[in-house]
Structure 1
Amino acid sequence: MGAVTTSSTRCPWRGSPGNACAVTNPIKGSISRLSPQKKTRCPWRRRSRPAGGCDFPARPGLSALAQSIFWSPVSAPTILTLMQASDMLGIGGPHPLITALGAGLDSPEGTYALHVGTTSIQILLLAGSNPAAPLAAVIPIDADTLGRIEALTRFWRDLYGRKVPADTRLTAQQRRRLRLMIQAADGRMNGASYREIGTVIFGDTRIAAEPWKTSPLRDAVIGLVEGGLAAISGGYLQLLRHRRKS
């Protein structure tokens, strides 16, 4: 098989907050050992000067591993939205672990903060709410209500020292497949053939065991690449929601 020239350009989505490119080991490193490289400069590396004094939820030029990423409740319904509770509810006082929510990222809709216990849960304290006062959770009644209740349950159990159930939005199998999808898409974007990607994922022995053009592994690789590209193009937002049966 002839050599395939690949580019060593870094993934242009590397610094995009919330993107899986920032948290997986790219397949490009393995592909580069199979074929020569041509170094090119990434056009996205240029830094622009600040255009104003507005703070952004995330720095586009910084990896998601190096900063706290705050999602909007519109994109991620499982973000726990809190507000100051009405006196009529008769709540005795605030929970001491919640009073630190004032230290977070301020925005027009309120303050974004991250509760870190046995699990990490993102919280939005609505504008005008006092974190030192008794708080109540806001649960809109819509198609994502059950997901919001699950997030609230996980938060409550962690707050009171109970065992926290796993987040059910993604199973362990789905996480493994997502990792392979992003790795496969990364290899394809850097010039690797489907066979080269398959060799890295499945190994030389399995790839060489049968004709490549009719191999089911080829179909599997193509599916991983297409799924990864779709996720990078915005499909990853679906991972933030629960899949509910209609």
Structure 2
Amino acid sequence: MHVILGKGLRIVHLLLQDARFADYPLSILTPLDDGARARHRAMGRLLDFLEGREMGADSRLTPQKRLRFKSMLRAVDGRRNGATYREIAESLFGARRVASEPWKTSPLRDTTIRLVRDGLAMVTGGYLDLLRR
């Protein structure tokens, strides 16, 4: 059974294995492996949500890392849609800034290439490392 709790931007999706959940208290079964601590923190945030308390932001990512991940995904999307590194850089940093220095030696070029490389790694399974923190 799939249950959606909340509304708007504050929703939680639950996948329940037994539809008789209304007859019994909810429980969470989770393995004690390398990801156990991360799942434990997520369960605490879920409990906060269910009790109507403020969940707060996930503390595993700093605002800078969130911004970098967003840029990585935008760079991957551009690359997969046939954009050149320069076109991606113009989208991320602005055409004027990209044009302000020679492209072949530009630090923006190196940054763009790294964003695409790291974004591709994230999309092909690297995101799972985030869930284990």
- TM-score, structure 2 normalization: 0.77
Gaps of 5+ in 2: none
Q: Report the CA distance between 1:222 and its aligned residue.
A: 0.3
Contact 2:90 2:98 (C-alpha < 8 Å) held by counterparts: yes
Alignment of 1:151-170 (within 5 A): 151-170=42-61
Of the three residues 52, 77, 84, the one matched with 1:193 is 84
Encode CA deviations 1:2-50: one digit per residue, 9 max, x unaligned: xxxxxxxxxxxxxxxxxxxxxxxxxxxxxxxxxxxxxxxxxxxxxxxxx
Structure 1 pair 217/157, CA: closer, same or farther in 2 (3 Å)? same
**Partner residue in 1 for 2:26:** 135
* Alpha-carbon distance in structure 2 between the residues aligned to 1:163 and 1:128: 28
Question: Which aligned runs of 4 or more in structure 1 are off by greater than 4 angstroms?
Answer: none
Listed as ranges, the matches of 1:1-246 within 5 Å are 111-116=1-6, 119-127=10-18, 129-239=20-130, 241-243=131-133
- Which has the larger share of helix? 2
Give the letter aligned to residue 120 of structure 2.
Answer: L
Distance change (3 Å), C-alpha of 1:148 and 1:233: closer
The runs of 5 or more residues in structure 1 that have no matched partner are: 1-110
CA shift digits 1:50-108 (9 cap, x unpaired): xxxxxxxxxxxxxxxxxxxxxxxxxxxxxxxxxxxxxxxxxxxxxxxxxxxxxxxxxxx
**1:59 matched residue in structure 2:** none
1:114–1:122 contact (8 Å) kept in structure 2:
yes
Larger radius of gyration: 1
Post-superposition CA distance 1:197-217 (Å, at most 9, x none): 212211233222222111111
Q: Check the 8 A contact 1:168/1:242 in 2, yes or no.
A: no
Q: What's the C-alpha RMSD, in Å, of the aligned pairs?
A: 2.5
Task: Give the total of aligned pairs.
Answer: 132
Superposed CA deviations along residues 178-237 of structure 1, whole A, max 9, x for unmatched, are 221122222223332212221221123322222211111110010111122223333334
Alpha-carbon displacement from aligned partner over 1:93-130 (angstroms, at most 9, x marks no partner): xxxxxxxxxxxxxxxxxx34333268433333333753
Alpha carbons of structure 1 residues 141 and 189: separation in structure 2 relative to 1, 3 Å: closer
TM superposition shift of 1:171:
3.4
Return the TM-score normalized by structure 1: 0.46
